[in-house]
Each structure stands twice: as structure tokens, then as C-alpha cells.
């Protein structure tokens, strides 16, 4: 319900005992009993919200600042100005508390499963062979322990960015955070790393799961607006 300024003032005076219910109705186009009851309920709710939100003292100081301005005005205009200022603050308090309490009700720590998704196998499409092909097949099957061992065999002959990257994700998936961290940090230092954007994202996740929250925040913050993981990174940052 939207209250008119005049009714707000009369409701306040009615609740303070200055006006009777009949006088409030007569001076405000005879609102129905139901409308007046709704106005009173909304007024009281707003007043309570101001108390709860800690705005009472702020409103008091605001009132004191404005009182000098209103002293030179006509009594009716000054009263309306004060009431309107109060009501505006009440509405702001209501919006603030709705947002706060909604946040409290929905505020739960982020879950790793909601953010981690293994990077797709792009190597098999390029016709990888031998041990690398076996490693990627195990990776795709989510047999991450076996995949990690196979990646180790590949690394003996050829330690490439692909090996480091996919092995790191497999390690992250099963909680082998030191291995994931080592691989991803090495990739992040490589100027020729073709997985540059994804490396930052998965390293941020690794730091998070390792309990290195500040490092996770710093890494995720480096993901720019033009990068694929920007929005989800911002979401995770807000939850850390």
C-alpha cells in the first residue's frame, strides 16, 4: 500500500493521541477502516524497521540538521517536510532490511561442486596417441587417480602444457591440491601457456580448497571482464 504524505502525518498524530480515528478519516477523504488499518500497520512496521536497522540515531541527527531550515517555514510546511523526510528514511530502511534478511536467509558458504567442472577433453579431437591418449581417456571417464599416473608416464618423455594442465584438473578433482597447485602455478608463469584463462580459474579453485583464501581471492580477481569465467569468478569472490 502506498501512503499519501497527509495520511502519514495523521497516522503518526493518531498513534501519539493527538487525533482520534474519526478525525484522521475526516481529514483524509474518508479512507475505509480497512485502508486506515493497513496504513497504521505499515506505519508501525516501518517505524520498527528503523529501530532494528539502527537508523534511529541517524534520523535524529538528520532532523537536527534540518530543523534550522524548517524554523523559517510555515508550521504546516515544516511539519510536512519533517514527516516526508522520516517516511523516505523508513522506506529506505525497509528496503535495506529486506535485502539484509534475504541475504541472511540465503547466505550459505559456496560449495566446490557448484563451481568445479572438469575442463573438456580437447586433445582427443586432435588425435592424441599413445600414453597421452590413454591418459585422456581415463580423464574423460573420471578415473582421475589412474589418469594422474598415466600423465606421469607421459611427462617422462614429454612434459607439455597439456600434461600439466589436465593432470592438475584431475588432481583438483580428487583433492590432490599440492599437485594441482604446483602444475597450475608453473603454467601461470609460462608466457606460452595456451590455457592462460583457465589456469587462473582452476588455480583460484585450488587455493580455495587448500584453505589459502587470500591467494584464491587474488587469483580470481585477475580474471578480467572479457574472460569466460569472469561472472562466475565474481560470484565466488563474493562468497569467499
Predicted confidence at residue 76, as pLDDT, reads: 53
CA–CA distance, 227 with 198 (Å, rounded to integer): 9
Distance between alpha carbon 93 and the CA centroid of its chain, in Å? Answer: 20
pLDDT top residue among 231 and 76: 231
Name the band, by pLDDT with cuts 50, 70 and 90, for residue 145: very high
- Closest by CA to 86, choosing from 108, 106, 58, 127, is 58
Does residue 177 sit in helix, strand or coil? helix
- Express each pLDDT in 31-84 by its tens digit: 777 777 777 777 676 666 555 555 555 555 555 555 555 555 555 555 455 555
Domain 112-239: what homologous superfamily? Tetratricopeptide repeat domain (1.25.40.10)
pTM above 0.75, yes or no: no
Give Cβ neighbours of residue 224 (< 8 Å, ≥ 6 apart).
230
Answer yes or no: are the C-beta atoms of 96 and 109 closer than 8 Å. no
Name the strand (E) or helix (H) holding 101: helix 75-106
Q: How far apart are CA 229 and CA 236, in angstroms?
A: 10
- What confidence tens digit (pLDDT) does each residue in 121-139 have? 988 755 555 678 899 999 9
pLDDT computed for residue 171 by the predictor: 97
pLDDT grade for 140, boundaries at 50, 70 and 90:
very high
Distance of alpha carbon 79 from the chain centroid: 40
Q: Which residue has the cell 477502516?
A: 33
Domain ranges of the chain: 5-106, 112-239
* Average pLDDT of the chain, as a whole number: 78
Burial class (CB in 10 A: 0-12, 13-18, 19+), 215: middle
Amino acid at each position: 500500500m502506498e501512503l499519501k504524505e497527509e495520511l502519514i502525518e495523521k497516522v503518526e498524530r493518531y498513534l501519539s493521541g493527538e487525533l482520534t480515528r474519526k478525525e484522521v478519516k475526516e481529514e483524509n477523504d474518508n479512507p475505509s477502516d480497512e485502508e486506515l488499518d493497513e496504513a497504521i500497520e505499515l506505519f508501525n512496521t516501518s517505524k520498527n524497521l528503523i529501530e532494528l536497522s539502527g537508523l534511529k540515531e541517524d534520523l535524529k541527527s538528520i532532523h537536527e540538521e534540518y530543523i534550522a531550515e524548517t524554523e523559517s517555514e510555515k508550521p504546516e510546511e515544516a511539519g510536512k517536510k519533517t514527516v516526508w523526510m522520516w517516511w523516505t528514511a523508513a522506506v529506505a530502511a525497509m528496503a535495506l532490511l529486506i535485502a539484509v534478511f534475504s541475504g541472511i536467509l540465503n547466505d550459505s558458504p559456496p560449495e566446490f561442486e557448484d563451481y568445479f567442472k572438469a575442463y573438456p577433453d580437447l586433445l582427443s579431437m586432435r588425435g592424441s596417441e599413445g600414453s597421452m591418449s590413454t591418459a585422456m581417456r581415463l580423464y574423460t571417464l573420471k578415473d582421475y587417480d589412474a589418469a594422474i599416473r598415466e600423465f606421469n608416464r607421459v611427462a617422462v618423455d614429454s612434459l607439455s602444457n597439456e600434461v600439466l594442465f589436465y593432470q592438475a584438473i584431475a588432481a583438483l578433482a580428487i583433492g590432490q591440491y599440492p599437485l594441482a597447485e604446483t602444475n597450475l602455478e608453473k603454467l601461470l608463469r609460462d608466457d606460452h601457456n595456451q590455457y592462460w584463462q583457465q589456469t587462473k580459474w582452476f588455480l583460484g579453485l585450488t587455493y580455495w580448497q587448500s584453505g589459502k583464501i587470500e591467494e584464491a581471492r587474488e587469483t580470481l580477481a585477475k580474471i578480467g571482464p572479457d574472460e569466460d569465467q569472469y561472472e562466475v569468478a565474481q560470484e565466488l569472490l563474493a562468497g569467499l
